Structure 1
Amino acid sequence: MSFQRQVGFWVTALAVAILALVLLRGILLPFVAGLALAYLLDPLANRFERMGIRRLPATIIILCMFVLLFILVLMVIVPVAANQLAAFVAKLPATVARLQQLAVDHGRPLIERLGGPGAIGDIEGSLGNIMSQGASWFAGFLQSLWSGGQALVGIFSLLVITPVVAFYLLVDWERMVNKVDSWLPRRHLATIRQLAREMDRAIAGFLRGQALVCLILGTFYAVGLSLVGLNFGVLIGLLSGILTFIPYVGSLTGLVLSGGVAIVQFWPDWTWIAATFAVFFVGQFIEGNILSPKLVGDAVGVHPVWLMFALLAFGSLFGFLGLLLAVPIAAAIGVLMRFALRQYMDSPFYDSRRMVLSAEETREIQQVKVIAVTTSPEGGQTTAVEPRQRTDRDE
């Protein structure tokens, strides 16, 4: 198959995959979630197999443990977070108004000096409109999210279909990997396997490592803010832990939310306000110096900016399904781009001297002969002239 046909084949396959994703995005969520769950739990199943437990019993044990843990989290954490969420939404306008009043009161001299005597009224009006519109939009978004029938159907499918899909995929994981490996083109088998291993290291290193980082930091923030006595501490801590999946976003979001609530709640007592900020500073120190180097590592190859772009882009296009697909696709694209860059650096397009050397070696191949001399049975000599064998460098 020529190079042009190969390129056409893979471009067509990519277009078909994107079209199928667009057309079926409404029903793919539980299946993609099941695939992600099976991928995350596969190392644990392999460890059970090394302990002498067969794949099927190991899968049953793992999924039962996961479902029990998930139910326990739903029973303990979700009611508390839901109650705090309702209270937070109800008090959001008053909190915003209080922050606005504190900012105007303590910044009045500076504002009047820069904008004149009427600047205070203009700022109060504009801030009030912006904050009220943002609060109304946020409250309406939450209400539509929980009351929409499609959202309820999606949650039901996640809770029911995802464990079933994860069970079957986890049982047949090794068999599926071997089957896909048998479909790979034999000529490029080594290269494709190497790229697949790099993608697996990038995806596994980030997903499994960052998931543990989010869990640990979310627990730390929730416990720390609750011990400080901050209102909605559990909610803000869990939200910060979940958003830690996006680099820097979780910590900044939690810092802004907790700082605003702490100022409204504790003002003018700076001790507890400082304690609230200290919880996030300690969490960031633990994440940057202990958790991320140990659990995620440096070989992930997913740049934070690229990751944020992928999450926002796929999330806007495909919703929650896009959020699940963003990290694997971003990691895979990163591996392919690094491979393409290595190929470019080794090609004549990067260094024209390679093209000159290639032409000179081609002329040498045409001129140099390997002469094999053999002795005939009659005592004479027979000379055979053959072209020099091509080497890997010639190719």
Structure 2
Amino acid sequence: MALPVRRQLQFWGVFAALLVLVLWFLGDVLLPFVLGMTLAYFLDPIADRLEKLGMGRTAATVTISLGATLIFVLGILLIVPTLAQQLQALFTSIPERTTQLTDLLTERFPSLMDENSTLRQSLASLAEAVQSRGGELAQAILGSAASVLNIVLLIVVVPVVAFYMLLDWDHMVARIDELLPRDHAPVIRRLASEIDRTVAAFVRGMGTVCLVMGVYYAVGLGLVGLQFGLVIGAITGLITFIPYVGALVGGTLALGLGLVQFWGDWVQVGLVAAVYIGGQAIEGNVLTPKLVGKSVGLHPVWLILALSVFGALFGFVGMLVAVPVAAAIGVMVRHATEVYQESSLYEGTESAARRSARASTPRVADQPDPRG
């Protein structure tokens, strides 16, 4: 006999509360496992495609793992040291850059940049604040990364978890499907499929877009000779998932540094601007439509709210689960809205009665022919 709806709500409410408590108290411990699961989810389509080409699941998993390990090692050896060096140099050079910008503005607009002007004092204060806070932020990030992620867990546990999750992914999905409540299994499958499409479009599609655009901006700015191009490209790629914000922030940084570095050489400044204009054209017309699709189902404001709330409550683990949770909530809200609009609570008792009467009235084609 099926459980009453009230008992089912109580059961799933207790389950959700226990899940929140586990994330709250064991967030740091669960971090490598969540990272491994996220990596396996990201790579599962590649394994499925290799299987369709005739490769076994074990061989596909081993091939993907070796490729991912090679990319990771090359990134650690070639990119991370340069990125850290440029980031530190950028924070260190901010006062000098601000002084150069002040001198340029003083030369062009002497009335606005006298010794006691508000604009000059604001620029000086901003430079000091960014340098001090930027250094503190960099040290905090490095310190927290060393204490929370733990190098051993990052190098050993995450790849091992990702390997076994990727190897057994299809079996786990099938096992979870067997455990679904039979009365609600069709609805749960439909909602899970919508959630998977939304998360896949965002995590896999937008993650690929962010990676490609980060590489594009870093290489493009480096080729035009802009200092700190790698850092600016990484920042731009990291926040490209927010429409227009990534290009706006990265373009402002690049143009600001470009004006200071190439003042008077307007061809170089134009090349810096051309890199971002070209990047927006590629992202908006090619990458996002092909990899993400026209509608992901995650509004940028809703996504930022989810990342902020889960990040504040559960730390880095919360930020990792924020996207799938936000997608799940969005799908369930849309489903609840559809159910509500089909209910008598929305249509009223008279509308529901008329609809029921129309449904019970036989159509002309269904009525018996009096001529026999």
Moved more, 84-93 or 176-185: 84-93
Match of 2:28 in 1: 26
Instruction: Name which of 347, 351, 355 aligns with 1:354.
Output: 351
After TM superposition, the structure 1 stretch with the greater mean CA deviation from structure 2, 155-164 or 216-225, is 155-164
CA distance in 1, matches of 2:145, 2:218: 31
State the partner residue of 2:135: 139
Shift of 1:152: 6.9
Q: Which runs of 4+ in 1 moved over 4 A?
A: 147-150, 358-364
Q: Which amino acid aligns with 1:355?
A: A
Deviations 1:218-270 (A, max 9, x none): 11111111111100112211221122133333212211211111111111222
User: Relative to structure 1, is the Cα distance of residues 306 and 155 closer, same or farther in structure 2, using a 3 angstrom cutoff?
Assistant: farther
Distance 2:322 2:107 in 1: 45
CA RMSD of aligned residues (A): 2.4
2:224 pairs, out of 203, 221, 228, with 228
Distance 1:141 1:190, change over 3 A: same
User: Per the alignment, do residues 4 and 273 of structure 1 end up closer, same or farther by CA in structure 2, a change over 3 Å counting?
Assistant: same
Q: Which has the higher contact order (CA 8 A, sep 6+)?
A: 2
- The structure 1 residue matched to 2:15, chosen from 5, 13, 23, is 13
Query: Percentage identity across aligned positions?
Result: 43
Aligned equivalent of 1:307:
303
Distance of aligned partners of 1:130 and 1:86 in 2 relative to their CA distance in 1, 3 Å threshold: closer
Asked if the contact 2:239/2:245 (under 8 Å) is kept, the reply is yes
Structure 1 or 2, whichever has the larger Rg, is 1
Q: In the alignment, which residue of structure 2 is the partner of 1:279?
A: 275
Q: How does 1:240-319 map to 2 (within 5 A)?
A: 240-319=236-315
Work out whether residues 211 and 237 of structure 2, in 8 Å CA contact, stay in contact via their aligned partners in 1.
yes
Q: How many equivalent pairs are there? A: 358
Contact 2:240 2:246 in 1 (8 A): yes
Q: CA deviation at 1:52?
A: 2.6
Following the alignment from structure 2 to structure 1, what is the Cα–Cα distance between the partners of residues 74 and 144?
A: 26
Give the conservation status (yes or no) of the 8 Å contact 1:34–1:166: yes
CA change 1:191–1:147 in 2 (3 A) is closer
* Residues 274 and 362 (structure 1), Cα distance of their counterparts in 2 relative to 1, 3 Å cut: closer
Q: Which amino acid aligns with 2:9?
A: V
Pair 1:327-2:329 in alignment: no
Q: Which segments of 5 or more consecutive residues in structure 1 lack a partner in the other structure?
A: 365-395
- CA spacing shift, 1:90–1:216, aligned 2, 3 Å: same
Q: Is the 8 Å Cα contact of residues 55 and 171 (structure 1) preserved in structure 2?
A: yes
Give the deviation of 1:148 after TM superposition: 5.3
Paired residue secondary structure (1:27): helix
What are the residue-to-residue correspondences of 1:93-172 with 2, within 5 Å?
Answer: 93-103=95-105, 105-109=107-111, 111=112, 120-147=116-143, 150-151=146-147, 153-172=149-168
Give the 3 Å change call, closer, same or farther, for CA 155–331 of structure 1 in structure 2.
Answer: farther
Partner of 1:367: none
- Please give the per-residue CA displacement for 1:7-35, whole angstroms capped at 9, x wherever unaligned: 22222211111111111111121111100
- The C-alpha deviation readout for 1:290-315, integer Å capped at 9, x for no partner, is 11001100242111221222223222
Aligned counterparts, 1:206-225, within 5 A: 206-225=202-221
Task: Report the residue type matching 2:351 in the other structure.
Answer: R
Q: Output one character per residue of 1:307-358: Cα deviation in whole Å (capped at 9) or x when no partner.
A: 2222232223333222211211111111111111111111112211333337
Residues 9/100 of structure 1: CA separation in 2 closer, same or farther (3 Å cut)? farther
Check the 8 A contact 2:218/2:230 in 1, yes or no: yes
Corresponding residue to 1:59 among 52, 61, 67: 61
1:135-155 residue CA offsets vs partner (Å, 9 max, x unmatched): 201111112322458437534
Q: Are the equivalent residues in 1 in contact too, given 2:61–2:163 (CA < 8 A)?
A: yes
